[in-house]
A and B are shown apart, each in its own frame.
Chain A
Amino acid sequence: MKSSRRSATFLTFLAAILFACSPTQKKATLLNVSYDPTRELYSEINAAFAKQWQAKNAETIELKQSHGGSGKQARSVIDGLQADVVTLALAYDIDSISEKAKLLPADWQKRLPNNSTPFTSTIVFLVRKGNPKAIKDWADLAKPGVAVITPNPKTSGGARWNYLAAWGFALKQNGNDSAKAKEFVANIFKNVPVLDTGARGSTTTFAERGIGDVLVTWENEALLSLKEAGGDKFEIIVPSVSILAEPPVALIDKVVDKHGTRALAQAYLEFLYTPEGQEIAAKNFYRPRDTGVSAKYAAQFPDLTLFNIDETFGGWAKAQAAHFADGGTFDQIYQPGK
């Protein structure tokens, strides 16, 4: 009797302490780990989403963003960076997070429409005003004397799109001859004097440091550079053919469950598909999925033939293994310092 009374007293005391120690109500915070050139896009998305969330839920939220080369960002998440959502340059980087850190399921891409890619982009060229090296298509990048700026495919998702776009062009030009495609891409990389770790770094190299004749980059990044430079410094060259770049988004299950931010993260990603989110994407030069918004911004995005990664390379897993894994074709054709 005495013992049970003691136990009851202890449990009451314990319960009181646990109640007193329950975490105080904090402002919900979401970290979006993204790739290099999306700073402006997600600044705008975050502001709009926070406003919408506040209106719907009467809750103030804090949205944080982190940017860097897509591969590097994925590595950081695998190493413990607490990303609630990732919005990376390519599906392979999110696959890596799933495979290596088991932070989200392997079929993550099925959870949102359009394979979890709310908008698309492609790869184009930015050249100096007047196009002094007369660059018109991919073939011109392989010519001697043309300095090409592109980031490092080992660290940058955008660079991998650039590389595969060039490879795809060469395959089409040479009847799917891989050897010729390899030689062609090797010649392009012989013309690359600086390899930045991310797309934004390459833009800095080309636009601010004045290095190179042509920047191979995301269409959105090229259009943004053009807008920021005021139109008298650069011009965009649209190649005859390019790749359909699909930057995907995903919530990181283990992190959102730990942080208690699943609903917020899900709503955040779904917001990207709303007309408002699509409009912001289009304003930031990403090609929207929404047909209405797409039609509205049609003049902004030139028509060009686009091939996709699945058709030409058999998907990201195969492309990664063949080209960008250690000892892959990129390692074979590019030796730093030579």
Chain B
Amino acid sequence: MRTQRLSFKLAVLAGLTAALPQIALAKAKSQPQSSVIQQYEQRLDELEQKTKVLERNLELKEEAEKEKAKEKPVVKASTSGISISSADGNNEIRFRGLIQADARFYLDRDGQGAVNTFILRRVRPYIEGKFAKHWEFRIMPDFGEGKVVLQDAYIDSIVYPQFKIRVGKYKEPIGLERLQSASNLVFPERGQTVNLVPNRDLGVMLFGDILEGILTYQIGVFNGVPDGGSADFALNNSKDFGGRLFAHPFKKTSVEAAKGLGIGVSGNFGSANGNETDPQLPSYKSGGQQTYFKYISDGTVAGTAIADGTRWRFSPQGYYYYKGFGLLGEYVISSQRVTRDVNSADIQNHAWQVAGSYVIGADNSYGQIKPRKPLGWKKGGTGAFQFAARYSELTVDKAAFPIFADPNKSAQKAKGWAVGFNWIINDNAKVMTSFEQTHFDGGGAGGTDRKTENALINRYQLNF
């Protein structure tokens, strides 16, 4: 409105300036020439001043508006979700989400509970953000598989990039593939190693990047959870101490082909004590998400194996990414003192996996793979294509059988190989398909092997 008024004034002034010679000419007829010229100059000066004042005020108004705009909150909608941030960027809330709609098919069904099904594997609307620059947070529920679970809820205090403190519920830093975001997985389901590492746990963790990101560390104290487990509270006073060191030794070198190499080691130790109603012991699942191993449990003291003492895990791990190529490998050993009635043993289970993949149309990564040309009818982009293969296996300690686990119901070993194909449509959408065949040693009735599982898992994923 005010700009319009200024424009109007400027127009009037321009008109007056144009008319001035005519006015001066008329006056010249009745006044001495020098006096007329003087008046004419004076009027011109006045008009010039008025024009300058209007221009300057307009300039100041625009400056003030720019300044004001700097203070306005910034609302942004992008492939990373919707965010609202303060003008200085110190405060921000991001609304994000992940939906994974799966179709699982079991070929040659083994009659052991596997049902072809469509399933919402993960439904995670979540919010992240920060306040006062140094305090970040994430709250992430999950409505997948017909359950409501609070997956993450934590606060990060960023003291220095090298020294941050995380408090709350989050992934305990042990398994390499477990720590990879669910939206960035190469296969719809993780390999066998994920069975032996903790999932989400509550605790306090120090973490950060040192040596300009060459070395990453995490160290913390947690309630402690069984292999593959998550929990929202502790069952006893014992706590798990855990940590991880991961290095990108060539990150800062000029050797491009070596920059994507990452190697690390992680582990934890603590003590777990279960009881007959909550044994604090794990069960293990196949790639098709069927349980193939569990400890004996009938709800009685005599008939239930329980966690009863020292628990520790150790995992060397690494990956390598260069252009389209990617390779990930990890080994995990998990030990737990187990008791059933009067019998006790330290059960040591171990697992390993190697997964390789090749991406066409994008650089391969442990993080998000972003197609160079996302699918688009007009621009002719097709997205990126990822081909993958994996071998993983898990071996249960022979000492677990038959006292702590029933050899006719629980397999002693699972060996799975998988091939996968992913179409990464754009930064948000991905279609995945994988076929995994898992062979078992034991676990069948009468000392036979559990029937081989052939699982075809398809996924349509949207994340933002």
List residues of chain B with CB within 8 A of the CB of A21.
160, 162-163, 206, 208, 210, 217
Contact with B along A14-31 (1 / 0, CB 8 A): 100110111110000000
User: Restricting to A166-210, which residues have a CB under 8 Å from any CB of B?
Assistant: 193-197, 201, 205, 209-210
Most A-side CB within 10 Å, residue of B53, B88, B221, B269 = B53
A197 to B60, CA, bound (A): 9
List residues of chain B with CB within 8 A of the CB of A6.
241, 269
A33 to B219, CA, bound (A): 40
Q: How many A-B residue pairs have CB under 8 A?
A: 56
On whether the beta carbons of A13 and B90 are closer than 8 Å, the reply is: no
On whether the beta carbons of A14 and B206 are closer than 8 Å, the reply is: yes
On whether the beta carbons of A205 and B241 are closer than 8 Å, the reply is: no
A21 to B245, CA, bound (A): 13
On whether the beta carbons of A80 and B90 are closer than 8 Å, the reply is: yes
Q: Contacts A21-B162, A21-B208 known; A194 to B90 CB distance under 8 Å?
A: no
Quick check: is B57 within 8 A (CB to CB) of the other chain?
yes
A20 to B208, CA, bound (A): 10
Closest Cβ–Cβ distance, residue B157 to chain A (whole Å) = 14
Closest Cβ–Cβ distance, residue B55 to chain A (whole Å) = 8
Give the nearest-CB partner of B90 in chain A: A80
Closest Cβ–Cβ distance, residue B133 to chain A (whole Å) = 9
A10, A24, A196, A210: the one contacting B241 at CB < 8 Å is: A10
A80 to B71, CA, bound (A): 13
User: Restricting to A202-241, which residues have a CB under 8 Å from any CB of B?
Assistant: 205, 209-211
Q: Contacts A6-B241, A14-B206, A23-B162 known; A211 to B56 CB distance under 8 Å?
A: yes
B53, B160, B269: the one contacting A193 at CB < 8 Å is: B53
A20 to B206, CA, bound (A): 12
Closest Cβ–Cβ distance, residue B167 to chain A (whole Å) = 16
Give the nearest-CB partner of B88 in chain A: A80
A147 to B46, CA, bound (A): 11
User: Restricting to A1-49, which residues have a CB under 8 Å from any CB of B?
Assistant: 6, 10, 13-14, 17-18, 20-24
Count, chain B residues at interface, CB 8 A:
23
List residues of chain A with CB within 8 A of the CB of B221.
10
Closest Cβ–Cβ distance, residue A251 to chain B (whole Å) = 22
On whether the beta carbons of A194 and B210 are closer than 8 Å, the reply is: no
List residues of chain B with CB within 8 A of the CB of A23.
160, 162-163
List residues of chain A with CB within 8 A of the CB of B243.
13, 17
List residues of chain A with CB within 8 A of the CB of B57.
193-194
On whether the beta carbons of B49 and A147 are closer than 8 Å, the reply is: yes
Interface range on chain A (Cβ under 8 Å from partner): 20 to 34
List residues of chain A with CB within 8 A of the CB of B269.
6
Give the nearest-CB partner of B162 in chain A: A21
A13 to B206, CA, bound (A): 12
On whether the beta carbons of B53 and A194 are closer than 8 Å, the reply is: yes
On whether the beta carbons of B160 and A209 are closer than 8 Å, the reply is: no
Closest Cβ–Cβ distance, residue B64 to chain A (whole Å) = 8
On whether the beta carbons of B219 and A13 are closer than 8 Å, the reply is: yes
Q: Contacts A147-B49, A210-B52 known; A194 to B60 CB distance under 8 Å?
A: yes
Contact with A along B80-123 (1 / 0, CB 8 A): 00000000101000000000000000000000000000000000
List residues of chain A with CB within 8 A of the CB of B219.
13-14, 17
Give the nearest-CB partner of B206 in chain A: A17
List residues of chain B with CB within 8 A of the CB of A211.
49, 52-53, 56
Give the nearest-CB partner of A23 in chain B: B160
A23 to B208, CA, bound (A): 12
Contact with B along A81-125 (1 / 0, CB 8 A): 000000000000000000000000000000000000000000000
Contact with A along B376-397 (1 / 0, CB 8 A): 0000000000000000000000
List residues of chain A with CB within 8 A of the CB of B52.
209-211
A210 to B45, CA, bound (A): 11
Closest Cβ–Cβ distance, residue B242 to chain A (whole Å) = 10
Closest Cβ–Cβ distance, residue A10 to chain B (whole Å) = 5
Closest Cβ–Cβ distance, residue A200 to chain B (whole Å) = 13
Give the nearest-CB partner of A211 in chain B: B52
Most B-side CB within 10 Å, residue of A17, A80, A147, A201 = A17
Can you identify 24 A-B contacts, CB atoms within 8 angstroms?
A10-B221, A14-B206, A14-B219, A18-B206, A20-B210, A21-B206, A21-B217, A22-B162, A22-B163, A23-B162, A24-B162, A80-B88, A147-B49, A193-B49, A193-B57, A194-B57, A195-B60, A205-B56, A209-B55, A209-B56, A211-B49, A211-B52, A211-B56, A337-B2
Contacts A21-B217, A194-B60 known; list 12 others, CB within 8 Å.
Answer: A6-B269, A17-B217, A17-B243, A21-B210, A22-B163, A23-B163, A24-B162, A193-B49, A194-B53, A195-B60, A209-B52, A211-B52
Q: Which 3 A-B pairs have the closest CB atoms?
A: A21-B162, A193-B53, A21-B163
Q: Which residues of A contact B (CB under 8 A)?
A: 6, 10, 13-14, 17-18, 20-24, 80, 147, 193-197, 201, 205, 209-211, 337
